[in-house]
Structures are given as structure tokens and as C-alpha cells.
Amino acid sequence: MSEQSAPGRVIGILGGMGPEATLDFYRHIISLTPAAKDQDHVRVLIYSNPKIPDRTKAIAENGPSPLPELIETARTLERGGAGIIAIPCNTAHYFLAQIRKEVSIPVLDIIGETRLELQRAYPDIRKVGLIAALGTVVSGVYHRALAPEGIEVLVPGEDDQQAVQKAIGQVKAGVVNKGTRETFQSTGKRLIDMGAGAVILGCTEVPLAFDPAEVSYPSLNSTRILAQAAVAWALRP
């Protein structure tokens, strides 16, 4: 990208869910941008708002709704000059339609982008595993996106899902170790054993403690996939 290309194209990151996942998303934006010098990188506006109420608690436990904070954070990015918004939190996409109604700029869809990448990379897969926060699982956002394509979403059993939820909480608390990696990676293996052809890393904390090189099955990193879509928009003439 030249210094003059894509004038005014600013990626807005609606982050803070959690902060490390936001940082990981920005790292992917940097790594996916072809750049030889500072000026070749894309413009990015980050609003990391960790005060957004817990999405899983809102969906699965009737907790406080995160929607007002999500909307206000999106509006802040729009006022700040963002031309598009990316939300590196899968569970927050349960509220995507309502967020889109409250801003006049596009909001990318991590679920839809992951579906497109799955179909591009693995066109023959009819069953896919999902490692995600409980809110994402019970909300059915991936199920609704993939069912019309004839793709079945396989989710962990109750014990595995509880372990995944606990490990996600550990990653949010800064604990990334052999135990958290083993939880995510072994859960993925059991989903493969259930018949999945690949596994979606459907929580932006999961890739922080998941090493694709340590497993024998394909995985899709929703964080990186969303970053690909954001960078593609920013580099468009």
C-alpha cells in the first residue's frame, strides 16, 4: 500500500473484551499489512472499553446487558473518524444487528467472515467444531450462520464446555500455560473425534492459548480472520 492509497480509511476497533484479545487482534492487523515502513501501515483507532458488561452472563445468566456500552463505544469510534468497526469478541456479535442500527458506518461480522473462510479453505466440510465461550454456544450465532450452508456445528459436552469457560477466564486473568493450552487443544481433538472436519476458535481468548502446531487437526482463528477482513477494507482503493 502506498502512503497515499485508501485515504481516510480508518479501522475502528471496538475492544476491551478482553484487552489481551484486542491487542492480539491489532497484532494481526499489523502482520497482515504489507508494509516496508511506518507510513505503509493502515490507520487504526482503538477504543478498549473493559467496562462493557460480561456478554456470556448477559446471554446465559440474565446478567446486565452489554448493549448500551457496545453502542456508545461504537458511536465513539464513529465520532473519532473510524470508517468501519471491527469487534474482536465473538459473543458480542449476538448484539450485532442492534449495534449496526445505531451507527452509520459498517460493522464487520466475525461470524460471517469465519463462515466465508471455512467455505474457502475447507469447501467439503459438512461438520465443524466450535470452541467458544458459553454465551457464543448457547446464543447459536455460529449455528444460524452455518446451517443454511448445510454445515453442522458440533459443540463440546457439558464437562468440556465448563472446562473451556474456566480456561477462557484464566486467559482473561493472564494465565496462559500448559493447562489452558491442553484444555483448548484436547477439546478440539474430541470435537474432531465426534466428526468435525475442522475446529473454529470462536472466542478471541482461545487463540492466545492454542498452538496450531501442537495439534493434528485444522483450526480457524476467528481473530485473524476478522483482521484479514479489516485490512482488506483498509487497503481497498
Cell of 211: 498452538
Cα–Cα–Cα angle for 214, 219, 222, rounded to 5 degrees: 125
Q: What is the 3-state secondary structure (H, E, C) of 66-101?
A: CHHHHHHHHHHHHHCCCCEEECCCCHHHHHHHHHHH
CA distance 144 to 153: 9
Amino acid (one-letter) located at 26: Y
20 close to 90: Cβ distance less than 8 angstroms: no
CA distances from 83 to 10, 39, 88, 89, 184 (A): 5, 19, 16, 19, 35
Beta bridge partners of 108: none
**Residue 100's CB: how many other CB atoms inside 10 A?**
15
203 catalytic per annotation: yes
CA distance 135 to 92: 9
Q: Is 66 helix (H, G, I), strand (E, B) or coil?
A: coil
The single residue of 203, 208, 226, 234 carrying the catalytic annotation is: 203
Amino acid (one-letter) located at 160: D
The single residue of 13, 29, 89, 107 carrying the catalytic annotation is: 89
161 catalytic per annotation: no
CA distance 43 to 12: 9
- Catalytic center residues: 89, 203
